[in-house]
Amino acid sequence: MQETLCALLMAATTMAIQSSNPSDWIGVWQGELDGQPSVVLTLAQDNGTLDGTLVLNIISRDGGQPHVIAREPHTLIQPYLDGARLSFHLKRIDGSTTPMDFSAELLARDRAKIQCLNCGDDAPNVEISKQD
């Protein structure tokens, strides 16, 4: 009986994580690096499609203690859901015509991981949590 209950709970969790329902993503998601706020992803569906913003905080370790030295606000370009993965592009602030490609993947109902796919080998994979 207990094994069956565990199997049902695992199946329900897996089904939720594989969902491509935009409402699973709606809200404010935040993540940290080195104990500093590093990313804020805000998603809404006001016009019928999933849309939002991403704020990237630039963290410096100069002086020994990590601290935020700049914030880059961006509007999501072409957000796309594929199962538990949200993909989108961001315009680079350096004037480059090549957009930054981002991917976020649901780990649980209120947790995901986000990463820039073309920002270099040292681009962090940040865990983000949905805020209440």
Torsion (CA) 5, 111, 26, 96 in degrees, nearest 10: -150
Residue 8: give its domain's CATH number: 2.40.128
Domain hosting residue 11, numbered range? 2-130
- pLDDT tens digits for range 69-128: 999 999 999 999 999 999 999 999 888 899 999 999 999 999 999 999 999 998 999 999
Domain tally, the chain:
1
Environment class of residue 7 by beta-carbon count within 10 Å: exposed (0-12), middle (13-18) or buried (19+)? exposed
Report which of residues 63 and 38 the model is more confident about: 38
Q: Which residues contact 42 (CB under 8 A, 6 or more apart)?
A: 27, 28, 29, 52, 53, 54, 55
In degrees and rounded to multiples of 5, residue 75 shows phi and psi of -100, 135
- pLDDT tens digits for range 29-41: 999 999 999 999 9
In degrees and rounded to multiples of 5, residue 20 shows phi and psi of -110, 25
What SS3 state is found at 34?
A: coil
What is the pLDDT averaged over residues 58-66? 91
pLDDT recorded at residue 10? 42
